C-alpha cells in the first residue's frame, strides 16, 4: 500500500482552525466517522480546486479510545495512547479528552471556515464539541509574546523523516502522531519583564531571532530544555505548526501548540524536560507565564490508510 502523508509537513499558514470532538455512543456516530474517512480526501481536493490561491488543507486524526472503538479489527499504532499528565514540581502538562481532531489551514479565513463547516456538517449528530481555536499568523510568524515560532523546524527530507512514520512501522507508514496543547499566556506578567529577561526565557533575541550565546543563555531557557538528542548525540526534532490566538475583550491570549512527529516518544521527552526538567527541577521558565489548559494525543493516518478505514 502506498503511504502518502496527510498535510503534516507544510507551513503553519496564515489562518488555522483547530477542532477537537468527542464521539457520541451510537452506531450512527461510528458510521458517520467512517463515511468521513472515505470522503475526506475528496473534500480537501474539492476545496483546493475551488480556491487554489488560498491553498486550503486539512488533517484528520484519532484519539486512542476512538481508534479502538471505531477500528477494532485494525492494529493500533504502537505509540498511540491516552496521554497521561506530566506533573512537575511547579507545573503540569494536563491530559484532556478528545476522540477526533481536525487541523484546517488556508490563506484566507473564509476558506478555512468553509472547509471546517463542511467537516462539521458531515459529523452532525455524531460528535460533541470539546474545543475549537481559531489561529492567525502574527506579523512574521511570531507568537503573541513576540518571538518567532518554529525556528528549529526541520525542512524538506528532514521534515518527512522527523514528522512522518517510515519503514520502521510498515503498516502505519505515512502516518504521524499529533500532540496538541492550548496555552494561555499571562501577558501582564510577561510584559513586566525587561526585554533581556524575556530573551533569556526564550533563549533567542526578540527582534533578530538569533539564538543567545551559551555564556548568557540560561539552562532553563525554552529552546534549551526542548533541545534533545538520541543516544548517539543526533538531534531529535518535531514539526511545530503552532498558531497564536486571542480574544482581547476577554483578556485571553494564547498559543495553540501542535507537534507532528514520527514517534510520540520524541514529543514526550520534550514535555518531560519542560515540565519536570533535566536534571529534575530545571523546568522550562516559559511555563511561569504560559499555562497549558489542554493536552491530547492523536494519530493521523496516511491518506491511503484513512480511505481503507472507511471500509
Closest to 186 (Cα-Cα) out of 174, 198, 177: 198
Is the alpha carbon torsion for 209, 270, 263, 259 positive or negative?
negative
Residue 41 burial class via C-beta count within 10 angstroms: exposed 0-12, middle 13-18, buried 19 and up? middle
pTM score of the predicted model: 0.97
Given a contact cutoff of 8 angstroms between Cβ atoms, the answer to whether 86 and 264 are in contact is no
Note the pLDDT of residue 152.
86
Given a contact cutoff of 8 angstroms between Cβ atoms, the answer to whether 56 and 104 are in contact is yes
Note the pLDDT of residue 282.
97
pLDDT in tens, 247-286: 999 999 999 999 999 999 999 999 999 999 999 999 999 9
Residue 138 backbone phi and psi in degrees, to 5: -110, 110
Note the pLDDT of residue 253.
98
Length of the chain: 311
Every domain of the chain and the residues it spans: 15-309
* 283-290 average pLDDT score: 98
Note the pLDDT of residue 269.
97
Quickly state the pLDDT bin for 1 (edges 50, 70, 90): low
CA distance 290 to 202: 12
**Has residue 295 got a pLDDT over 90?**
yes
Note the pLDDT of residue 200.
98
CA distance 35 to 33: 5
pLDDT in tens, 17-28: 999 999 999 999
Region of 112 (left: φ > 0; alpha: ψ -120 to 50; beta: rest) is alpha
Note the pLDDT of residue 2.
65
CA distance 235 to 255: 25
Active site residue ranges: 149
CA distance 152 to 211: 11
Closest to 287 (Cα-Cα) out of 142, 185, 204, 147: 185
**Has residue 227 got a pLDDT over 70?**
yes
Quickly state the pLDDT bin for 150 (edges 50, 70, 90): confident
**Has residue 41 got a pLDDT over 60?**
yes
Quickly state the pLDDT bin for 309 (edges 50, 70, 90): very high
Quickly state the pLDDT bin for 212 (edges 50, 70, 90): very high
Grid cell of 138 as nine digits: 502574527
pLDDT in tens, 92-135: 999 999 999 999 999 999 999 999 999 999 999 999 999 999 99
Residue 189 burial class via C-beta count within 10 angstroms: exposed 0-12, middle 13-18, buried 19 and up? exposed
* 37-58 average pLDDT score: 98
Containing H/E element for 162?
Answer: helix 156-163
Task: Find all residues with CB under 8 Å of 262, minimum gap 6, and list them.
Answer: 161, 162, 163, 164, 165, 166, 168, 176, 177
Average pLDDT, rounded, for the chain: 96
CA distance 180 to 256: 7
Containing H/E element for 159?
Answer: helix 156-163
Closest to 131 (Cα-Cα) out of 97, 87, 92, 161: 97
* 238-246 average pLDDT score: 97
The bridge status of strand 57-62 relative to strand 86-87 is unpaired
Closest to 111 (Cα-Cα) out of 44, 40, 35, 195: 44
**Has residue 189 got a pLDDT over 90?**
yes
CA distance 79 to 165: 11
Q: How many CB atoms lie within 10 A of CB 203?
A: 22
Q: How many CB atoms lie within 10 A of CB 15?
A: 22
Amino acid at each position: 500500500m502506498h503511504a502518502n502523508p496527510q498535510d503534516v509537513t507544510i507551513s503553519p499558514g496564515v489562518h488555522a482552525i483547530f477542532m477537537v470532538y468527542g464521539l457520541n455512543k451510537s452506531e450512527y456516530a461510528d458510521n458517520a466517522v467512517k463515511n468521513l474517512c472515505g470522503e475526506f480526501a475528496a473534500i480537501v481536493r474539492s476545496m483546493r480546486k475551488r480556491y487554489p490561491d488560498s491553498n486550503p488543507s486539512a488533517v484528520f486524526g484519532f484519539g486512542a479510545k476512538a481508534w479502538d472503538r471505531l477500528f477494532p479489527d485494525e492494529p493500533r499504532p504502537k505509540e498511540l495512547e491516552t496521554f497521561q499528565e506530566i506533573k512537575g514540581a511547579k507545573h503540569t502538562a494536563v491530559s484532556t479528552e478528545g476522540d477526533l481532531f481536525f487541523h484546517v489551514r488556508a490563506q484566507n479565513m473564509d476558506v478555512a471556515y468553509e472547509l471546517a463547516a463542511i467537516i462539521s456538517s458531515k459529523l452532525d449528530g455524531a460528535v460533541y464539541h470539546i474545543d475549537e481555536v481559531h489561529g492567525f499568523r502574527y506579523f512574521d510568524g511570531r507568537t503573541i509574546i513576540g518571538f518567532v515560532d518554529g525556528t528549529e523546524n526541520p525542512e524538506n527530507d528532514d521534515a518527512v523523516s522527523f514528522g512522518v512514520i517510515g519503514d520502521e512501522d510498515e503498516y502505519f507508514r505515512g502516518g504521524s502522531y499529533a500532540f496538541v496543547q492550548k496555552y494561555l499566556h499571562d501577558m501582564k506578567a510577561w510584559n513586566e519583564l525587561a526585554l533581556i529577561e524575556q530573551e533569556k526565557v526564550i533563549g533567542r533575541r526578540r527582534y533578530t531571532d538569533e539564538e543567545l550565546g551559551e555564556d548568557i543563555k540560561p539552562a532553563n531557557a525554552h529552546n534549551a530544555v526542548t533541545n534533545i538528542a538520541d543516544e548517539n548525540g543526533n538531534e531529535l526534532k518535531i514539526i511545530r505548526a503552532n498558531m497564536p490566538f486571542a480574544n482581547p475583550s476577554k483578556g485571553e491570549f494564547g498559543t495553540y501548540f501542535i507537534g507532528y512527529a514520527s514517534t510520540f516518544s520524541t514529543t514526550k521527552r520534550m514535555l518531560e524536560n519542560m515540565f519536570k526538567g533535566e536534571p529534575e527541577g530545571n523546568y522550562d521558565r516559559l511555563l511561569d507565564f504560559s499555562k497549558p489548559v489542554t493536552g491530547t494525543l492523536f494519530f493521523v493516518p496516511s491518506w491511503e490508510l484513512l480511505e481503507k478505514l472507511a471500509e
